């Protein structure tokens, strides 16, 4: 029989949950009740129950804190959150703290039975979902707590030198191991799990692990020590797991599979080329990157960094692009199906945004009012016009007109007006003998110094340098 503790500050809820199920029929026995987190911790410390049903909102020690501290006391104990609909966000957060699931009030028999079956399957293979803060083994307390849990689950023995193997899986479901593989697992997010296994099981895992369709890929480390910074090894193993994004293959990847090649030179080359509006060099650089990707000479961390660096270029050119930054590998692999897909997108983005002929064709605009506005701006951008003067001419609120520019051509009025003027300036510098001051005046700038500053920001060069090089 698996032993259950029920925790809730309302005795009526405890009574209701106890009466809702024939616990013995499913292999369980309710051995304890607690009406506070403090009492529950004392019970867990003494009895080490297999499963705890806990309310979220309780005085002093709430359900989230109970899960966190209870896991440190007993690594084998599983937790299920009891919550109302209004507390659903807390229930989701509890999953990150190590809870296996949640059941909503009022209780549904089928829901609880499914949870019990899930927990039983978990307990049979002595695996746990633990407090992931324990993975920070630079802390002595965390390291000692983790070693205790690993010994309880027979991942390391009393005479071991704290050496282990780490696996990281990317996908909705957890890996399924043979019962001969003792392990401890940690859920680090909705689609990422970390597993710690004994060192003598590495070759067995490499030859027998079956990766289900719900799992995108798996990374496996070499032999490592818990006495070192475990999070560093988890990061490297995570990069190995994400190699599917590079290779396009769902597989088991070792940390030896990943390349730590630095991309600083290529990124700098992209930055310089973008600043110069040198589309040919940009495309050649992206071609080089594509070839390296085909040889799997990159890892997810480098591609992640390259994507954000390129986005930062557009933040400087077009303030709207800050919204396109990404903050983790999961976002990157959610946006793109592969690294090649990402490169194609970046190539199209760079080519389209850095063109020196930015005029939009009014006839292609479906909104008639905006079509007329765009036609007017295209004809009069060399004159002294502003969003206020254009709004007045077309009897449109300036704020609404600004929104129309953003919606229809993904640029602000000022960005579009500047791009038109700078395009003309480039052509005049290349093809005429006008002085720079005359060119500034012809394209709508009364202030030479403001023109020169804007031109350098747009092209990366002073007007004089641009003329000399073209």
CATH number of the domain at 237, please. 3.30.70
Distance separating alpha carbons of residues 440 and 96, to the nearest angstrom: 59
If one compares 236 and 73, the residue with the highest pLDDT of the two is: 236
If one compares 459 and 327, the residue with the highest pLDDT of the two is: 459
Residues 118 and 136 in one domain: no
If one compares 101 and 401, the residue with the highest pLDDT of the two is: 401
Chain segment 426-439, per-residue pLDDT in tens: 878 887 788 888 88
For residue 358, pLDDT over 70 is answered with no
Of 310, 306, 312, 309, nearest in space to 339 by CA:
306
Q: What pTM was computed for the model?
A: 0.51
The dihedral sign for the CA sequence 416, 422, 428, 431: negative
The region of weakest confidence among 26-30, 42-46, 69-73, 198-202 is 69-73
The region of weakest confidence among 22-26, 207-211, 296-300, 396-400 is 296-300
Q: Are 44 and 34 in contact (CB under 8 A)?
A: no
Distance separating alpha carbons of residues 443 and 439, to the nearest angstrom: 6
Residues 35 and 97 in one domain: yes
Residues 196 and 117 in one domain: no
- Kindly report the CATH number assigned to the domain that includes residue 370: 1.10.10.60
Last residue of a domain, one of 63, 93, 124: 124
Rg of the chain over Cα atoms, rounded to whole angstroms, equals 30
Residues 90 and 24 in one domain: yes
Residues 57 and 120 in one domain: yes
Query: Token digits for 40?
Result: 């529950």
Give me the pLDDT at residue 160, please. 61
Residues 268 and 222 in one domain: no
Give me the pLDDT at residue 313, please. 67
Query: Token digits for 140?
Result: 């002595």
Three-state secondary-structure class, residue 83: strand
Range of the domain at 278: 264-353
Q: Are 198 and 170 in contact (CB under 8 A)?
A: no
Of 107, 45, 47, 43, nearest in space to 80 by CA:
107
How sure is the predictor about 198, in pLDDT bands with cuts at 50, 70 and 90? very high
Chain segment 367-393, per-residue pLDDT in tens: 888 888 888 888 788 888 999 999 999
Residues 51 and 154 in one domain: no
Per the structure, how many domains does the chain have? 4
For residue 89, pLDDT over 70 is answered with no
How sure is the predictor about 165, in pLDDT bands with cuts at 50, 70 and 90? very high
Residues 319 and 414 in one domain: no
Residues 395 and 329 in one domain: no
Query: What is the enclosing helix (H) or strand (E) of 224?
Result: strand 224-225
Residues 380 and 425 in one domain: yes
Give me the pLDDT at residue 321, please. 45
Residues 276 and 185 in one domain: no
Three-state secondary-structure class, residue 106: coil
Residues 138 and 227 in one domain: yes
Beta-carbon contacts of residue 229 (< 8 Å; ≥ 6 apart): 137, 138
- Kindly report the CATH number assigned to the domain that includes residue 66: 3.40.50.2300
How sure is the predictor about 94, in pLDDT bands with cuts at 50, 70 and 90? confident
Last residue of a domain, one of 204, 239, 257: 257
Last residue of a domain, one of 353, 372, 394: 353
């Amino acid at each position: 029989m698996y032993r259950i503790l029920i925790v809730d500050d309302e005795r009526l809820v405890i009574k209701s949950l106890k009466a809702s199920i024939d616990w013995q029929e499913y292999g369980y026995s309710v051995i304890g009740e607690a009406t506070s987190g403090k009492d529950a911790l004392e019970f867990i410390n003494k009895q080490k129950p297999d499963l705890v049903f806990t309310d979220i909102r309780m005085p002093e020690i709430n359900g989230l804190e109970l899960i966190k501290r209870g896991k440190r006391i007993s690594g084998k104990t599983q937790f299920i959150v009891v919550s109302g609909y209004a507390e659903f966000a807390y229930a989701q957060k509890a999953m990150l703290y190590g809870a296996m699931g949640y059941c909503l009030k009022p209780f549904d028999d089928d829901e609880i039975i499914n949870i019990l079956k899930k927990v039983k399957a978990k307990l049979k293979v002595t695996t746990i979902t633990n407090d992931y803060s324990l993975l920070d083994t630079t802390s002595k307390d965390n390291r000692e707590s983790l070693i205790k849990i690993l010994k309880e689950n027979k991942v390391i023995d009393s005479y071991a030198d704290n050496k282990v193997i780490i696996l990281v899986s990317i996908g909705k479901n957890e890996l399924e191991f043979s019962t001969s593989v003792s392990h401890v697992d940690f859920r680090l997010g909705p689609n990422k799990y970390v597993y710690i296994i004994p060192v003598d099981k590495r070759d067995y895992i490499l030859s027998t692990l079956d990766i289900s369709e719900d799992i995108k890929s798996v990374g496996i480390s070499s032999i490592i020590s818990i006495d070192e910074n475990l999070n560093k090894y988890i990061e490297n193993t995570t990069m190995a797991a994400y190699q599917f994004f590079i290779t396009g293959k769902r597989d088991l990847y070792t940390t030896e599979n990943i390349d730590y090649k630095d991309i600083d030179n290529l990124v700098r080359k992209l930055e310089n080329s973008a600043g110069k509006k040198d589309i040919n060099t940009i495309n050649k650089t992206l071609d080089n990157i594509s070839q390296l990707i085909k040889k799997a000479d990159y890892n997810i961390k480098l591609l992640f960094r390259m994507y954000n660096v390129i986005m930062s270029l557009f933040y400087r050119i077009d303030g709207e692009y800050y919204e396109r930054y990404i903050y983790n590998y999961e976002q990157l692999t959610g946006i793109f199906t592969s690294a090649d897909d990402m490169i194609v997108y970046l190539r199209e983005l760079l080519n389209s945004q850095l063109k020196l002929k930015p005029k939009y064709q009014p006839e292609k605009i479906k909104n008639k009012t905006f079509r007329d506005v765009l036609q007017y701006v295209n004809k009069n951008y060399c004159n002294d016009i502003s969003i206020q003067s254009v709004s007045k001419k077309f009897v449109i609120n300036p704020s609404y007109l600004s929104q129309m520019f953003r919606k229809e051509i993904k640029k602000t009025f000022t960005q579009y007006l500047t791009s038109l003027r700078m395009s003309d300036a480039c052509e005049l510098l290349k093809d005429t003998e006008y002085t720079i001051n005359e060119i500034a005046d012809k394209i709508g700038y009364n202030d030479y110094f403001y023109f020169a500053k804007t031109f350098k920001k747009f092209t990366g060069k002073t007007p004089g340098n641009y003329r000399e090089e073209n």
